[in-house]
Structure 1
Amino acid sequence: MEIKKVTIIGLGALGILFGNHLSKRLPNGDLRIIADEKRIQKYKNDHVYCNGEKCNFHYVIPEESCEPADLLLFTVKYEGLHDAIQAVKNHVDENTIILSALNGITSEAIIGHTFGREHILYSVAQGMDAVKVGNKLTYDHMGMLCFGDQKPGIISERVKRVAAFFEKMDFPYQIDTNMDKRQWGKFMLNVGVNQTVAVYKSNYGEVQREGEARETMIAAMREVIALSEYEGINLTEADLNYWLSVLATLSPEGKPSMAQDLEARRYSEVPLFAGAVLEMGEKYQVPTPVNQKLFDTIKAIESTY
């Protein structure tokens, strides 16, 4: 069954990045962006821009009846996930494949609880250096979506369908047959990079070069490696080095979403990162002092809002 209808929920950095790419390659109306009426009016009045180009998006409200999506992409922030799940219900039927590009390691289970785990392919967005300011997104590297089945070692027909669609769309992707490890690796990177850049009020360049910030980042990542053993994931220094090599490809002037959130005086996703690390550290009696310090610092910044 060929993928033709695509729906995106969440028009943040990834939603704009993916949406802009697909909108140029799909027939008008086959890509739907879900948003409420107020947001749609704002998007239409102010427009949405990607690398200086005005995006041509087809918007639908959650209540609108429509043909279900063959592929549904979640690109919301974690705090908006539960509302997003309610908003996409008209777009899901028994054949819909769902990919979540959210940070953290829990969104697939949450989405699957409503729609069924059989709809979910596990995925990780990596290698993009997009920065969103207001209604304008800029990036140097689009990165890619890595995806696969939850069960390791297999490539299902659903994975093959998505891969065939991405090939047709010239959409950068990679199939991974060990998505648990891939997700934990990205989680490790986020714990290090997102929080460190936010605390040091800097950019990727700050943690790409030797210095205190990079040392803090790597120390935070090593705390995740220690915890991964208790979860049966068993990340290693080789995994750390792989994700540091991904980091090295990003534009030094770019910055992760957490740093952008704190600059804009928005509450961050620190519960997904240091918060999750501290919770697991307490569960397994594993010391996590670096993440404790990052958590406390970010919470202190947010307390000034």
Structure 2
Amino acid sequence: MEIKKVTLIGLGAMGVFFAPKLKEYLGNENFRVLADGERKERLQTKGVTVNGINYKFNFMTPDIKEDAADLIIMAVKDTGLSQAILDIRNQVGPQTQILCVMNGIDSEEKIAEVYGWEHVMYSYMRVSIVMKDGAADYDPELGKVYFGEAKNTELTDRVKAVQNLFEASNIAYRIEADMIRGMWFKFMCNVGENLTCAMLGIPFGAYRVSDHANAIRLNAMWEVIRIANRLGIDLGEEDIKRQEPAIQRLPFANKPSTLQDLDNGRMTEIEMFAGKVVTLGKELGIETPLNWMFYHGIKVCEEKMQGKFESK
């Protein structure tokens, strides 16, 4: 299996991690961005700027029925996943593989329900990208895409094909031996770090200087650990310790995605984060008070953003 044509849907903070390098390696004909309507027109006209360099890409609309992709990279937000699953339908052929690099722990299941597991691999990203007004800034040395089968003691042909593509296009990657555990590790970090920052309006750098911010972060992570353990996923204290050097390396002023969404007037992915933790906690009989507060608190922030509390 060889990957010659790639379609990306979602040219935001995660999509720009892939787009410039795939365009350079595959060329405009074989690397396409899927979009339509006002978003397509805006991106075609303005492009996106990554670390000071402006890029413009070859766009396709979802209605085009020929020329299926060998690989589809879905880099959308949770709020756009259902539509994206519909939009990629004409890009899926008999051999097409799909990586959905968005946050969360169940997007693969949703995509596989429509297209089948033979087309879907597990994937997630560890990268801090600040994106505003079509411009993204990040340190490429601090980011990776993780992908593979659920277990990767031996690499399947389709995993090797994606590996070969990323090697050739100089995209930083890692193939985890246990992708499910890896996804829950990232979920644990996201829930603790991302949501604490969003609720309090603080950057990642707060975790270097505030014992109080860390107390909230760590206790929220433990709520995820207790749920993961009940589901048979081996997370624990060592995983929290493993994350600490990554926190220290992040630029002090960087903001996580949920806080970026609130700052820019966008709806957040709170359902996928705290909403999922609270739901699983109820199903499993595990208390999740911090995530309950995150969920309702950030919902209030969204209501405020929408003007719900302005005097009539």
For the aligned pair, the TM-score class normalised by the smaller chain equals: over 0.9
Q: Deviations over 1:132-170 (max 9, x none)?
A: 112111112450111110246442111111111111111
In 1, are the aligned partners of 2:44 and 2:56 still within 8 Å (CA)?
no
* 17-26 or 68-77, which deviates more: 17-26
CA RMSD of aligned residues (A): 1.4
**What is residue 157 of structure 1 aligned with on the other side?**
157
Code of the aligned partner of 1:118: E
Deviation per residue, 1:35-69 (Å, 9 max, x gap): 01322211122332111211121111111233211
User: What is the aligned partner in structure 1 of residue 128 from structure 2?
Assistant: 129
> Partner of 1:71: helix, strand, or coil?
strand
Unmatched tracts of structure 1, length 5 or more = none
**1:96 match: secondary structure:** strand
Alignment partner of 1:201 is 2:201: yes
Q: Which moved more, 1:150-159 or 1:229-238?
A: 150-159
Counterpart code for 1:123: S
Q: Does 1:285 align with 2:285?
A: yes
Which residue of 1 is the match for residue 189 of structure 2?
189
**Residue 106, structure 1, aligned to residue 110, structure 2:** no
SS at match of 2:124: strand
Deviates more, 1:48-57 or 1:103-112: 48-57
Give the C-alpha shift of residue 20 in structure 1. Answer: 1.8
Determine the structure 1 residue equivalent to 2:248.
248
Distance in 2 of aligned mates of 1:224 and 1:12: 27
Q: Is the 8 A contact 2:43 2:56 kept in 1?
A: no
- In structure 1, the residue corresponding to 2:26 is in which secondary structure? coil
Check conservation: 1:63, 1:90, Cα contact below 8 A.
yes
Q: CA deviation at 1:172?
A: 0.3
CA distance in 1, matches of 2:208, 2:182: 21
Aligned length: 304
Q: Which residue of 1 aligns with 2:310?
A: none
State the alpha-carbon separation in 2 of the partners of residues 198 and 121 from structure 1. 30
- Structure 1 residues 163 and 207, CA gap change in structure 2 (3 angstroms): same
1:258 correspondence with 2:264: no
Query: 1:248 deviation in Å?
Result: 2.6
Q: State how far apart, in whole Å, the 1-side matches of 2:217 and 2:21 are.
A: 32
Q: Deviation at 1:279?
A: 0.9
Cα separation, 2, equivalents of 1:113 and 1:281: 24
Alpha-carbon distance in structure 2 between the residues aligned to 1:151 and 1:47: 38
Moved more, 114-123 or 201-210: 201-210
Q: Kindly indicate whether the alpha-carbon contact (under 8 Å) linking 1:144 and 1:172 is maintained by their aligned counterparts in 2.
A: yes
Unpaired stretches in structure 2, ≥5 consecutive residues: 307-312
The Cα of 1:263 is off from its aligned counterpart by 0.8
Check conservation: 1:185, 1:243, Cα contact below 8 A. Answer: no
| 1:3 CA drift (Å) | 1.0
Q: Does 1:77 align with 2:46?
A: no
Q: CA deviation at 1:115?
A: 0.8
CA distance in 2: counterparts of 1:200 and 1:68, whole angstroms: 44
**Aligned counterparts of 1:246 and 1:148: Cα–Cα separation in 2:** 22
Matched with 1:41 is: 41
Q: Which residue type is aligned with residue 139 of structure 1?
A: Y
Distance 1:118 1:203 in 2: 40
Contact in 1 for aligned 2:8/2:74 (Cα 8 Å): yes
The residue type equivalent to 2:48 in the other structure is V
TM-score (norm 1): 0.95
- Within 1, Cα distance between the matches of 2:274 and 2:105? 13
Residues 226-261 of structure 1: CA deviation (Å, up to 9, x unaligned): 111111102111112223333333222211110101
Question: 4+ residue runs of structure 1 moved beyond 4 angstroms?
Answer: none
